[in-house]
Amino acid sequence: MAVLVMLLVLLLTEPGFSQTNDHNNDTNVLIGKFCGRNAVASLPNFIKNRNTTLDDLRMQLLSKRVLYARAQTLNDGDSVYATVQCRNYLSVDQCVDCFDAGVSKLINCTAANGYISFDDCFIRYEDFAEFYNNPYFLMDGSGLQFLLCGNQSTSQPTTFNQLVDGVLSNIRDATPKTSNFYVASTRQNISENATVYATTQCIENINQAICRTCMNTTYDKLTDCFPSTQGSFSDMACFARYSETPFFNDNETMDITNILKGHSSKPVAIVVATVGGAVLCFLLWLLYRLWKKSKKTEQGDSISVLCMR
């Protein structure tokens, strides 16, 4: 019922789909929308179940004060499973605004599955639950990737491209290693007085491997936007955005230095462990030789053979 009331208000007020936050130049831009091909058994029953599910999602966002939620309604066939996720730099109220904008567009879909992605959030509903943990699980054979590049190019393409490429490659590597699969970062070029703002986010409840795969795709796709001053990419499993205009606060950036160092230190750790093992074997062998001079035992031979392997 709450969803129906909300939709009536939206229709009467003829909303644009912009959203204001701390940055006046930021808007909740639509990246892409998809109405699926899965057929419903009973359209009235499906619409009822979908409305109930979407209403549940909205209530979770508000009551639990969260930016991610999932819900399901299984009454009388035409099951509906749905999820919503907002960007971590948003407030809950901003998240709900984005959710409402998405719902107002998704209600035009009459298929049993649908998806919509904005710069600030995404909503997805299906008639199966497998996508909760594997977003690439598709029953209608349709993959969803949306790339949106800005229509304004930078005046310093070489410098700007290098700047964006640097921050995107770093957050691509760091995001799968964070606890919440989310990174917000900036990179500055002092000589050009330029700053790039970028964020990446994988969907909650997936594993690190899926997030890493999506991040690699995201990086490859967004480089196609160069030298545009901004770009957004949305996949079934993740989202990324860069812009020369701030769209999150400075205190919301993350220091990913240690995460990136940890990634590069793995080969070093392997070498250290190998050398340490060799040194230990040498010390055991030396102790055995000293001990053998006073007492000859077969135990020493066992140690020597073990270390020589």
Confidence (pLDDT) at 238: 96
Q: Is residue 47 part of a domain?
A: yes
pLDDT in tens, 13-49: 333 333 333 443 456 899 999 999 899 999 999 999 9
Residue 191 has pLDDT above 50, yes or no: yes
Confidence (pLDDT) at 296: 54
CATH no. for residue 120?
3.30.430.20
pTM given for the model? 0.75
Confidence (pLDDT) at 20: 35
Query: Same domain, yes or no, for 138 and 168?
Result: no
Query: Same domain, yes or no, for 249 and 287?
Result: no
The closest of 149, 83, 154 to 119, measured between CA atoms, is: 149
Q: Is residue 149 part of a domain?
A: no
27-42 in b/e burial notation, b at 16+ Cβ within 10 A?
A: bbbbbbbbebeeebee
Where among 110, 143, 176 does a domain terminate?
143
Higher pLDDT, 141 or 148: 148
pLDDT band at 97 (very low <50, low <70, confident <90, very high): very high
Mean pLDDT of 123-128: 95
Query: Same domain, yes or no, for 118 and 242?
Result: no
Q: Is residue 212 part of a domain?
A: yes
Confidence (pLDDT) at 288: 65
In the chain, the number of structural domains is 3
Where among 112, 143, 174 does a domain terminate?
143
Query: Same domain, yes or no, for 241 and 178?
Result: yes
Q: Is residue 102 part of a domain?
A: yes
Q: Is residue 284 part of a domain?
A: yes
Query: Same domain, yes or no, for 18 and 132?
Result: yes
CA distance 273 to 267: 10
The closest of 251, 305, 263, 289 to 89, measured between CA atoms, is: 251
User: What's the whole-number average pLDDT of the chain?
Assistant: 82
Q: Which of 161-170, 217-226, 246-255, 268-277 has the lowest mean pLDDT?
A: 268-277
Query: Same domain, yes or no, for 181 and 207?
Result: yes
pLDDT in tens, 68-85: 999 999 988 899 999 999
Mean pLDDT of 236-250: 93
Q: Is residue 148 part of a domain?
A: no
Confidence (pLDDT) at 170: 96
Residue 290 has pLDDT above 90, yes or no: no
Query: Same domain, yes or no, for 203 and 241?
Result: yes
pLDDT band at 199 (very low <50, low <70, confident <90, very high): very high
Query: Same domain, yes or no, for 61 and 177?
Result: no
Query: Same domain, yes or no, for 24 and 86?
Result: yes
Residue with tokens 């006046």, as numbered in its chain: 24
pLDDT in tens, 209-222: 999 999 999 999 99
Query: Same domain, yes or no, for 114 and 229?
Result: no
Range of the domain at 236: 157-264
Query: Same domain, yes or no, for 195 and 258?
Result: yes
Residue 294 has pLDDT above 90, yes or no: no
Q: Is residue 38 part of a domain?
A: yes
Q: Express as a percent the part of the chain with pLDDT over 90.
A: 62
114-146 in b/e burial notation, b at 16+ Cβ within 10 A?
A: bbbbbbbbbbbbbbeeebbeebeebeeeeebeb
Higher pLDDT, 283 or 233: 233
Higher pLDDT, 165 or 270: 165
Rg over alpha carbons for the chain, rounded to the nearest Å, is 26
Query: Same domain, yes or no, for 189 and 97?
Result: no
Confidence (pLDDT) at 10: 40
In single-letter form, the type of residue at position 194 comes to A
Where among 264, 279, 298 does a domain terminate?
264
Q: Is residue 108 part of a domain?
A: yes
290: left (phi over 0), alpha (psi -120 to 50) or beta: alpha
